[in-house]
A and B are shown apart, each in its own frame.
Chain A
Amino acid sequence: MAAPLASPTLIDRLRDPSEKTLGVMLLAPAALLLLMIVVYPIGKLFYNSFFDMRLSGGQGSKFIGLQNYADMMKDTGFWDATLNTVIITAVTVPGALLVGLGLALLANLPFKRQWPVRLALLLPWALPLAFAGLIWAWFFHTEYGFINDVWARMGGEPRMWLLSPVSAFTAICLAIIWKASSFMALVLLAGLQMIPKSLYEAAEVDGASKWQQFTQITLPMLMPSIMVALIFRTITALQTFDIPYTMTKGGPGNATETLAMYIHKTTIDYLDVGYGSTLAVGMFVLSLLLTAVYLRHISKQDSA
Chain B
Amino acid sequence: MKLKKALLAAALMVVTATVAAQNIRVFSGGASQRPDLMRKLFDEFEKKNPGSKIDMETGGATSEAQRQYLSTVLNAKDSAIDVYMIDIVNPMQYARAGWLEPLDSYLGAEAGSLMKNYLPAYASADVVDGKIVALPAFADAQFLYYRKDLFEKYGVKSPTTWDELAVGLKKILDGEKNAGMNGVATTGAAIEGAVCTFLKPYWSQGKDFNDASGRITLDKAAAQKGIEMWLSLVDRGVMQKNIGEVKPADMNNAFKAGNLVAMVNWGFAWDILQSQADSTVKGKVGVLPLPAMGGGKSATCIGGWQWAVSAFSKNKAASAKLVRFLSSPESAKFLAIEGSLLPVFPQTYSDADVLKKLPHYKDALPVVQAARGRPMSDRYGEVSDALRTTTNAMLARSVKPADGVAEIDNKLRRVMR
Contacts and interface: CB of A to CB of B under 8 A. Distances in A.
A164 B379 CA distance: 29
Interface centre among B64, B71, B99 (most CB of A within 10 A): B71
Nearest to A141: B245
B244 interface: yes
A106 to B, nearest CB: 36
Contacts of A249: 189-190
A227 interface: no
A226 interface: no
Interface stretch (B15-23, B90-98, B352-360): B90-98
Interface stretch (B36-44, B101-109, B122-130, B385-393): B385-393
Contacts of B64: 269
A164 B99 CA distance: 42
Q: Is the interface of B mostly helix, strand, loop or mixed?
A: helix
Nearest to B410: A76
Interface in B365-417: 378-382, 385, 389-390, 392-393, 396-399, 404
Contact of B389 (A58, A143, A164, A253): A253
B379 A270 contact: yes
B241 interface: yes
Contact of B396 (A56, A57, A163, A271): A163
A54 B75 CA distance: 10
Contacts of B379: 54, 56-57, 270
Contacts of B393: 251-255
A271 B240 CA distance: 35
B245 A164 contact: no
B396 A164 contact: yes
Q: Is the interface of A mostly helix, strand, loop or mixed?
A: loop
Contacts of B75: 55, 58
Given A160-B244, A251-B190, A58 B396 contact: no
A132 interface: no
A251 B381 CA distance: 17
B72 interface: yes
A251 B93 CA distance: 28
A269 B102 CA distance: 27
B399 A56 contact: no
Given A163-B396, A255-B393, A57 B244 contact: no
Contacts of A253: 389-390, 392-393, 396, 398-399, 404
B389 A271 contact: no
B396 A251 contact: yes
B398 A268 contact: no
B207 to A, nearest CB: 23
A250 interface: yes
A95 interface: no
B245 A250 contact: no
B396 A269 contact: no
Contacts of B382: 270
The number of chain B residues touching the other chain, given as a range, is 20 to 34
A56 B381 contact: yes
B381 A164 contact: no
Contact of B242 (A143, A251, A254, A255): A143
Interface string A259-281: 00000010011110000000000
Interface in B196-216: none
A139 to B, nearest CB: 14
Interface string A154-179: 00000010111100000000000000
A59 interface: yes
B74 interface: yes
A218 interface: no
Nearest to A271: B71
Interface in B179-206: 189-190
A162 B74 CA distance: 37
A271 B244 contact: no
Contacts of A270: 379, 381-382, 385
Contacts of B99: 58
A254 B403 CA distance: 14
Contacts of B71: 55-56, 271
Contacts of A268: 68
Nearest to A58: B97
A142 B72 CA distance: 37
Contacts of A54: 379
Nearest to A55: B75
Contacts of A141: 245
A181 to B, nearest CB: 28
Contacts of B385: 265, 269-270
A120 to B, nearest CB: 31
B378 A56 contact: yes
A268 B65 CA distance: 9
B389 A251 contact: yes
A97 B233 CA distance: 45
Contacts of A59: 97
Interface in A36-60: 54-59
A250 B389 CA distance: 9
B398 A164 contact: yes
A40 to B, nearest CB: 19
Interface string B100-143: 00000000000000000000000000000000000000000000
Contacts of A271: 68, 71-72, 381
Contacts of B240: 143
B96 A269 contact: no
A268 B382 CA distance: 11
B388 to A, nearest CB: 10
Nearest to B393: A253
A55 B382 CA distance: 13
Nearest to A253: B393
Interface in B221-273: 240-242, 244-245
B68 A252 contact: no
A165 B392 CA distance: 12
Contacts of A255: 393, 398
Given A54-B379, A251-B389, 5 more contacts: A58-B97, A164-B397, A164-B398, A252-B244, A271-B71
17 contacts: A56-B93, A56-B379, A56-B381, A57-B93, A57-B97, A143-B242, A160-B396, A163-B396, A163-B397, A165-B398, A249-B189, A250-B389, A251-B244, A253-B390, A253-B392, A265-B385, A271-B68
Interface of A: 54-59, 141-143, 160, 162-165, 249-255, 265, 268-271
Q: Which 3 pairs of residues, A with B, have the shortest CB-CB distance?
A: A253-B393, A58-B97, A252-B396
